[in-house]
Structure 1
Amino acid sequence: MFTYCIQEIRAKATLYEKFSIIPVFDASECILKSDSAIPHELKEELRSAVSRLEDVPENHKDWHPGSDGKVLDLVFPSLFPLVYGRSRILPSSIVDLESCLQNIGQGQIIPVPPDGGYAEYKSFFSICFQWLPCNVSFPDSSAQTDSYINNLHPRDHRGLYHVIEKIIDRAVPFWNIVCEIHYMGRIKMYSRIALPMADYTNETLGEDEMRKIKEDEENETTRIIDKGTPFVFDKLHLKSEDIEDKFAFLGGGERKVQVIVKLANIMLTPDKPNYDGGSWHIEGQLNEHIVSTAIYYYDNHNITDSRLQFQTKVDDEGLTMDGSYRHEDVDRHSLSEVFGLDMDTEFVMELGSILTREDRFIVFPNGFQHCVSPFKLADPTKPGHRKILAMFLVAPKDPVISTANVPPQRKDWWQREVGTNKGTRLGALPAELLDLVFEGVGEFPMSLQEAKKIRGELMKERSLMDQEIDDHLTYDTFNLCEH
């Protein structure tokens, strides 16, 4: 066993040396981390580019609802999302970075989808909202954003666009691994140790049998351990050849993906020194087709350690119905020893947690619930912060409506574009008349006030979905009594 472990560690060291990727929780799952995927120079570029979003007047800062002024949203996909029955789409043309601002207000209204289908998963789909991804292509094997990132001005922040493109480049090999294992099945996961099937009897043992079992247990502490069959390490779950073709997860199709971008800061002060942590959740809703999340922790300052925790639903049918785990009635001991579960427990198994220190890049499939653990100021007399970039990958073979089809919906962007374009009739008007025109504009584009109201409705809908997922996990419990 010891030799096996050493061989596996060496194989993982080789994988890290070549790709800077460390697989964790990878016995049957694959969550990836790296502290060197994003080079220092690129991190500094990101910090510099993001600072333009941070250095705004206090009344322009967008503090996350319900965060007590601790979470600052810089680019948040729930603001100005696609709203069925409200947003406009250009079904037969593409909105690129150069023309998107000129197309504000154009298109036809996207109809509300029918409220039906999906059976038991119906409540996990939204017929009201959808996060809007941007389209990304790889014309020369390097990422290029082909449509605007929602809530990130394509002209004011073009430098940040280029930085995010570089980070997407770094994320693609990670997404390749996650998608290949969990959604494509091309990389096979192997059991480290093969366990033979055990049959458990329901027969009641007599006194002689019980006495013999007790004697055997006492002898176990003194007997010489049988070496048994040695473990043979013959392969690593993730091999170099599986990773070198970083676009394998696209299945030979066009080198295009859709990515939802989020930038947020957690800001702590001596007056507000504690962050209470997040709730267990899965990113997005099923109509958004998010298959993987990449989170880059690029700036931690004066905060204590925090971890990103993971848990998943236990396959109870595999344990209790198909014969893979046979048990006696009320067999609490073996359930606890083998699976770490208790009788009538929730259908949840903790996978573990990953330290979220600065420079860490974490990528995982979207089938896991995850949760941010609490942290606080390291020095309570000084402010501190944690800054992240999160990127959500849409299923490459199942794209959704994106910013390539939906022009920007922001009224403030439209007012700037119209007011500064002196070549148009509106742009030629005096400022006083322009203000009157802007005030008279109807429902579209959306004002910031309306967008925040919609964001509240979207967040409420997602909270209800997360609660329903929790309810499934809470009320679906093991019951080992066969009657």
Structure 2
Amino acid sequence: MLLCRATSIQVGANAFLSSLHSDRLTHQGFGLGDTLHKRFLSTNTAAPFATADNYQNNDAKKGPLRVPGHGLPVDFEIFEGTGIDTIIGGFSHGFSQWIQHRRNTIKELTMIRIMDALTDKPHWHQKVFDEQIMTKWKLEGMRSSKLMITEKTWEWMVKELRWKARRYAEQGFTTSLETGTVIVKADGKHVGEDLREELKRAVQPLLQVDEAKKDWHPGSEGMVLNLVHPSLYAFVYGRTPVLVDTNVDLGAHTTSIGQRTTTLSADAADIDDDGLRPNTSGEHIYSNRDRWSTKFQWLPCEVAFTGDDGVDVKITSYINNLHPIQHSALYSVVAKMISKSIQPWNEVLGKYQEHYCGFRTWQDGEISQFPDDIPDYELLLCLMNEDGDDLEENRRFVEDYLTEPDNPMYMPAEHGDHPEYRFGPHGKPFPLEGKWWKKNPDLEMALYDKWERVRITEHPESDLSKFDAWAASKPYSTAHHKPAELRGGIENAFREDGLQVIVKLSSIELRPEKPDYTGGSWHLEGKMNEHIVATSIYYYDVDNVTESRLTFRQEAQLDMMDIEYDASNHGPIDDVYSVRNLNDCPGVQLVGSVATKQGRLLVFPNTLQHRVEPFSLVDRTRPGHRRFLVVWLVDPHYRVLSTRNVPPQQKEWWVGFNGKDSASSETAGQEDAYDYKSWTMSREEAKRFRLELMAERTNVMKSVEGSYENYNFCEH
């Protein structure tokens, strides 16, 4: 067991704001006050596995600090229900608590992608009630979708678009890409131009620093500029002190807080070597090490609701890496953006396998193919290999087949295109004599390629009679009611305890010498330590770059028990569900992408994996950028270590600290007496820890992707 030297800090409860009262407190960091005591404390603070009954969200004001990693195992989780009905509590995340009940049909994905494009059009919420415009959009949709959009499908889309428009008029934002999950996109009506300009101004001091002080994200080739990033000065087990009796507050001006700190050891997770953690009965519960961290945790700040109702909030503890005095204006704007995110969070959050799961199309029974008079692939192979008097007749038969018109719904992007296997007028010539098939080793592949291009699969249609149930999220298939916490909104369910959020500010900077951003990788946010359940991204400043999009995918099942199919012919399943490599296909499905234009707020649950798509400079002779604010919501069912409990680790914030009123000449120059240097970090050390944190987190998606269940297409 590691015994760490701990520093006891008595911190002025006026915390950061107190230094505003002294002209000499220009370098105080945030006006920490009175005395620092040195003690040695045991780090054995981890408790056995706990249930929801004895888990406490208390912060130090209300009682002993008891959070995952301090009094509870790092991998602590809440469980709800009893017996076989027991599930992991809290809101869902994509690490282990969410899977789409059934993969969406390609027709449904086509529908939601077209509707996303239509709801990007100016004044779309008015245009959807104009029959002339809707007729034009219908023809465009039918052409662009390779006839996937039929009359019945379009009728559903019209009803859904008008339903969205009515909700937009009430809420100021709209939902999009609704599958088992949903995202929210909000433009100027929800977040006005005044707020965008206010944020843009407040961020300027972070941009206007010396080049040597700019924090370019490791591995970004000098393109991603970190303005505020939680990976720098993250909580480090065995290194970072924790206040155990008190809090670091932004508000109170008169009292002093803080007596003891302790340093938590990295073994607080209580995870065995086999990746299992014990519960109270001595049994084991699976816990994948790569999804938890016993080394690091991002630090959220605390957010309190103001008043008895509504969504207005204030930030009550410092944002990690954002000095609250030097950037007080930015704190105010970030609080406003958190308020703007709350109603969208209510839209996207869900509980374990209880997301919005209505389907616009549903496949049951046999998947039909037609027309029947086109010979199947196996018959053509038999004809091709016959000999004797029928050889020439078979040759003509195969040649005629290879020149059949393609199915207009065939999508090369989905199936792959193979022009090297084409024969006939637009491909290779047919041999005129001899055993012609033996002279063309590509002919077998040509037959298969043509079979893929001519067969027509009957796709399931939308049933307009089910629209109201779909829209109300009522169970008619796999949809579920909203969980109780969301019926009145998180602003009411968690008003007393408030919220915890993690803040990031970044800018992707392109220059003539580096004009192209190649995009990001698939990921979920954070590790399970952070309990992140939703993301809010606001794109407040986009200049001289091409359109960039955020693409989403999710884990999805494909239960074949309800679908009839020929075990030797998986083509129809591929057509309906867009599944390739049928016997070795991971259970994940691309949902779609959303534009990230200036002034847009995007909100989505952490059940969705996402990645940034490439973009480039428009005018390649001058620089361009894409700047955005990210707010991650910590599951409010939990309480994790936050900046309320952890003093700032930035050594430069403490330079000049003397523990007393700086106006007193008697205390000047006494910062060594308070020994902040023994537990704060230099920027170089913080960057070294960041590289370790980043390396650790590269394994998260490998673990998640490695747990996908492959679809099982039985050969029966």
Task: Indicate whether the TM-score tops 0.5.
Answer: yes
Cα distance in 2 for partners of 1:480, 1:350 equals 20
1:442-475 deviations in Å (ceiling 9; x for gaps): 54111111111001100100012223333445xx
**Residue 280 of structure 1 pairs with residue 522 of structure 2:** yes
Structure 1 residues 380 and 107, CA, compared in 2 at 3 Å: closer, same or farther? same
Partner of 1:221: none
Checking the alignment, whether the CA contact within 8 Å between 1:306 and 1:374 is kept in structure 2 is yes
1:85-132 deviations in Å (ceiling 9; x for gaps): 1111112322111479x9899621123212332525232000111100
Unaligned runs of 5+ in 1: 201-206, 212-217, 219-224
**Residue 362 of structure 1 pairs with residue 602 of structure 2:** yes
Residue of 554, 559, 579 corresponding to 1:341 = 579
Checking the alignment, whether the CA contact within 8 Å between 2:230 and 2:320 is kept in structure 1 is yes
Checking the alignment, whether the CA contact within 8 Å between 1:105 and 1:409 is kept in structure 2 is no
Partner of 2:682: 447
**What code does the residue aligned with 2:605 have?**
P
1:408-463 deviations in Å (ceiling 9; x for gaps): 1111101144499525789512xxx86xx499865411111111100110010001
**Residue 177 of structure 1 pairs with residue 347 of structure 2:** yes
Q: Secondary structure at the match of 2:317?
A: coil
Structure 1 residues 457 and 10, CA, compared in 2 at 3 Å: closer, same or farther? same
Q: Secondary structure at the match of 1:94?
A: coil
Shift of the alpha carbon at 1:334?
2.2
Shift of the alpha carbon at 1:167?
0.7
Partner of 2:197: 44
Partner of 1:237: 471
Residue of 6, 22, 35 corresponding to 2:187 = 35
Task: Give RMSD over aligned pairs.
Answer: 3.3
**Residue 191 of structure 1 pairs with residue 347 of structure 2:** no
Checking the alignment, whether the CA contact within 8 Å between 1:172 and 1:246 is kept in structure 2 is no
Structure 1 residues 251 and 160, CA, compared in 2 at 3 Å: closer, same or farther? closer
Structure 1 residues 446 and 298, CA, compared in 2 at 3 Å: closer, same or farther? same
Q: Secondary structure at the match of 2:360?
A: coil
Structure 1 residues 440 and 18, CA, compared in 2 at 3 Å: closer, same or farther? closer
Partner of 1:398: 638
Cα distance in 1 for partners of 2:182, 2:666 equals 55
1:246-286 deviations in Å (ceiling 9; x for gaps): 85236734351110000000111111111111111110001
**What code does the residue aligned with 1:107 have?**
T
**What code does the residue aligned with 1:231 have?**
L
Q: How does 1:116-155 map to 2 (within 5 A)?
A: 116=272, 117=277, 119-140=286-307, 141=310, 142-155=312-325
Shift of the alpha carbon at 1:3?
3.4
Partner of 2:536: 294
**Residue 109 of structure 1 pairs with residue 263 of structure 2:** yes
Cα distance in 1 for partners of 2:706, 2:633 equals 27
1:24-68 deviations in Å (ceiling 9; x for gaps): 111322111111221100000100000011111111111111111
**Residue 310 of structure 1 pairs with residue 552 of structure 2:** yes
Shift of the alpha carbon at 1:8?
1.7
Cα distance in 1 for partners of 2:515, 2:673 equals 42
**What code does the residue aligned with 2:234 have?**
P
Which stretch has the larger CA shift, 33-42 or 384-393?
A: 33-42
Checking the alignment, whether the CA contact within 8 Å between 1:419 and 1:426 is kept in structure 2 is no
Structure 1 residues 247 and 107, CA, compared in 2 at 3 Å: closer, same or farther? farther
Q: Secondary structure at the match of 2:540?
A: strand
Q: Secondary structure at the match of 1:148?
A: coil
Checking the alignment, whether the CA contact within 8 Å between 1:410 and 1:448 is kept in structure 2 is yes
Q: Secondary structure at the match of 2:155?
A: helix
Structure 1 residues 396 and 419, CA, compared in 2 at 3 Å: closer, same or farther? closer
1:330-371 deviations in Å (ceiling 9; x for gaps): 432122012100112232210000011111111111011110
Cα distance in 1 for partners of 2:242, 2:177 equals 42
**Residue 265 of structure 1 pairs with residue 419 of structure 2:** no
**Residue 78 of structure 1 pairs with residue 78 of structure 2:** no
Structure 1 residues 188 and 451, CA, compared in 2 at 3 Å: closer, same or farther? closer
Structure 1 residues 188 and 351, CA, compared in 2 at 3 Å: closer, same or farther? closer
Cα distance in 2 for partners of 1:137, 1:438 equals 35
Residue of 62, 67, 92 corresponding to 2:215 = 62
Which stretch has the larger CA shift, 441-450 or 405-414?
A: 441-450
Cα distance in 1 for partners of 2:258, 2:515 equals 42
Cα distance in 1 for partners of 2:640, 2:589 equals 31
Cα distance in 1 for partners of 2:230, 2:603 equals 19
1:295-351 deviations in Å (ceiling 9; x for gaps): 1111110001111011112224xx24xx23454324321220121001122322100
**What code does the residue aligned with 2:468 have?**
D
Cα distance in 2 for partners of 1:392, 1:83 equals 20
Structure 1 residues 183 and 361, CA, compared in 2 at 3 Å: closer, same or farther? farther
Cα distance in 1 for partners of 2:237, 2:291 equals 16
Larger Rg: 2
Q: State TM-score, norm by structure 2.
A: 0.57
Partner of 1:3: 155
Partner of 1:23: 175
Structure 1 residues 451 and 86, CA, compared in 2 at 3 Å: closer, same or farther? same
Structure 1 residues 482 and 85, CA, compared in 2 at 3 Å: closer, same or farther? farther
Structure 1 residues 19 and 184, CA, compared in 2 at 3 Å: closer, same or farther? farther
Cα distance in 1 for partners of 2:528, 2:334 equals 25
Structure 1 residues 235 and 184, CA, compared in 2 at 3 Å: closer, same or farther? same
Checking the alignment, whether the CA contact within 8 Å between 1:88 and 1:106 is kept in structure 2 is no
Alignment length (residue pairs): 446
Checking the alignment, whether the CA contact within 8 Å between 1:104 and 1:409 is kept in structure 2 is no
Residue of 461, 474, 481 corresponding to 2:696 = 461
Checking the alignment, whether the CA contact within 8 Å between 1:330 and 1:480 is kept in structure 2 is no
Q: State TM-score, norm by structure 1.
A: 0.83
Residue of 495, 508, 522 corresponding to 1:254 = 495
Which stretch has the larger CA shift, 251-260 or 352-361?
A: 251-260
Checking the alignment, whether the CA contact within 8 Å between 1:88 and 1:109 is kept in structure 2 is yes
Checking the alignment, whether the CA contact within 8 Å between 2:367 and 2:573 is kept in structure 1 is no
Shift of the alpha carbon at 1:191?
2.7
- Aligned-pair identity in percent equals 36
Q: Secondary structure at the match of 1:297?
A: strand
Checking the alignment, whether the CA contact within 8 Å between 2:360 and 2:462 is kept in structure 1 is no
Structure 1 residues 260 and 426, CA, compared in 2 at 3 Å: closer, same or farther? farther
Checking the alignment, whether the CA contact within 8 Å between 1:63 and 1:73 is kept in structure 2 is yes
Cα distance in 1 for partners of 2:225, 2:713 equals 47
Structure 1 residues 464 and 230, CA, compared in 2 at 3 Å: closer, same or farther? closer
Cα distance in 2 for partners of 1:268, 1:104 equals 46
Residue of 569, 574, 578 corresponding to 1:331 = 569
Cα distance in 2 for partners of 1:468, 1:413 equals 37
Q: How does 1:374-393 map to 2 (within 5 A)?
A: 374-393=614-633
Partner of 1:478: 711
